[in-house]
């Protein structure tokens, strides 16, 4: 953690320099890059800035899931459009164009609720932004965005619809592939097979798990389960559940992307905070799913193997503090 704090101090200084309008030298793109693949749910919103502060993100790819890819791309672009920081390509990826009727039949109404919430950046925007422009060849956009990278780690926070299209094109460069959730051969007692990311587009999930991931350095990441997961504020449960709290978000810094994320999240805490779990309804009962995958990418030593996946060894309080420290690094983009 000392290295964290030292880097955090350097970033704070750089952010202050930028705030004062002083020139800072442009950093050369590093050889090791990350592609973040997201369906832009609440936990994705809390994960993308964390990566940007600690690694060089070559591109963010949006995939249909909790949001539709063009709307998710618009929201991500708005979130990370910080003055003075480098532009990170946000690429509209693939989707299977599930109809509203099909979604309602399969998932009920919580997916439309999430979409309305995230299209407006956690209700931070008064109206949704126009959908981002799509490309007939988003795979080429991914290839171009990673052209200067020697290795590319992939952080898969959503479904696999986009990944199965672009991963063959960059397979020779792929380093670590870190995935939210468990493999198809996971623990059936925990319904790991039927995670939302696989349920939404199971065909691409099967293709990725059985045909593309073998031979790659890939890791599945889940949250440690507790008996208090559905009652985090009950007697004896406080502080035991792996989920986000108001305190960890309030500890984000006062400048740049950490401050923007803080304002977006505190604008509507019922969508994510353990503190308001009982009155949150749809959109608010969230654990550290994508945040765990993100931390496993950045700090794999903080995880242990549990069957076919990994889980953090940190306590919930330690995890929350570590998320804040990493995310505060995003005052300056890597």
pLDDT digits (tens, 9 = 90+) for 205-264: 999 999 999 999 999 999 999 999 999 999 999 999 999 999 999 999 999 999 999 999
- Closest listed residue to residue 185, CA positions, set 167, 204, 201, 206: 206
User: Bridge-partner residues for 32, per DSSP?
Assistant: 151
| pLDDT score of 69 more than 70 | yes
Residue partners of 143: CB distance under 8 A and separation at least 6: 166, 169, 170
Helix (H/G/I), strand (E/B), else coil: 199: helix
Provide the pLDDT for residue 191: 46
Q: Alpha carbon of 220 to those of 61, 168, 223, 265, 296: distances in Å?
A: 19, 20, 11, 27, 9
C-alpha span between 171 and 196 (Å, rounded) = 25
Sign for the CA dihedral angle at 23, 24, 25, 31 comes to negative
Structure confidence at residue 108 as a pLDDT band (50, 70, 90) = confident
pTM of the full predicted structure?
0.90
| pLDDT score of 174 more than 60 | yes
| Domain residue ranges of the chain, discontinuous segments joined by + | 32-222+289-319
Strand positions, DSSP E, the chain:
32-38, 57-62, 90-92, 151-156, 174-180, 217-221, 303-306, 309-312
C-alpha span between 103 and 97 (Å, rounded) = 10
C-alpha span between 320 and 243 (Å, rounded) = 8
Whose structure tokens read 């990725």? Answer: 208
Provide the pLDDT for residue 73: 98
> Distance from first CA to last CA of the chain, Å, rounded?
19
What's domain 32-222+289-319's architecture? Alpha-Beta Complex (3.90)
């Amino acid at each position: 953690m000392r290295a964290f704090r030292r880097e955090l101090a350097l970033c704070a200084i750089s952010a202050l320099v930028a705030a004062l309008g002083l020139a800072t030298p442009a950093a050369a793109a590093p050889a090791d890059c990350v592609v973040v693949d997201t369906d832009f749910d609440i936990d994705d919103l809390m994960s993308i800035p964390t990566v940007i502060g600690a690694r060089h993100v070559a591109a963010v790819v949006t995939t249909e899931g909790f949001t539709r890819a063009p709307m998710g791309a618009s929201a991500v672009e708005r979130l990370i459009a910080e003055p003075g920081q480098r532009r990170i390509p946000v690429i509209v990826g693939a989707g299977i164009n599930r109809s509203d009727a099909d979604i309602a039949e399969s998932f009920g109404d919580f997916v439309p609720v999430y979409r309305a919430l995230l299209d407006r950046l956690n209700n931070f925007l008064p109206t949704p932004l126009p959908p981002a422009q799509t490309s007939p060849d988003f795979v080429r956009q991914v290839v171009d965005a990673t052209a200067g990278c020697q290795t590319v780690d992939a952080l898969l926070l959503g479904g696999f619809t986009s990944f199965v299209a672009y991963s063959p094109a960059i397979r020779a460069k792929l380093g670590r592939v870190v995935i939210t959730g468990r493999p198809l051969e996971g623990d059936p007692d925990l319904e790991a097979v039927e995670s939302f990311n696989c349920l939404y587009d199971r065909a691409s999930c099967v293709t990725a798990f059985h045909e593309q991931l073998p031979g790659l350095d890939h890791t599945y990441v889940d949250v440690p389960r507790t008996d208090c997961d559905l009652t985090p504020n009950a007697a004896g449960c406080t502080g035991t559940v792996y989920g986000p709290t108001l305190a960890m978000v309030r500890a984000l810094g006062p400048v740049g992307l950490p401050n923007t994320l803080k304002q977006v999240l505190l604008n509507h805490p019922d969508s994510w905070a353990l503190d308001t779990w009982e009155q949150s309804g749809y959109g608010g009962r969230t654990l550290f799913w994508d945040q765990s995958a993100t931390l496993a990418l950045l700090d794999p030593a903080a995880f242990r193997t549990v069957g076919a996946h990994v889980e953090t060894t940190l306590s919930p309080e330690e995890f929350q503090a570590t998320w804040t420290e990493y995310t505060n690094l995003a005052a300056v983009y890597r």
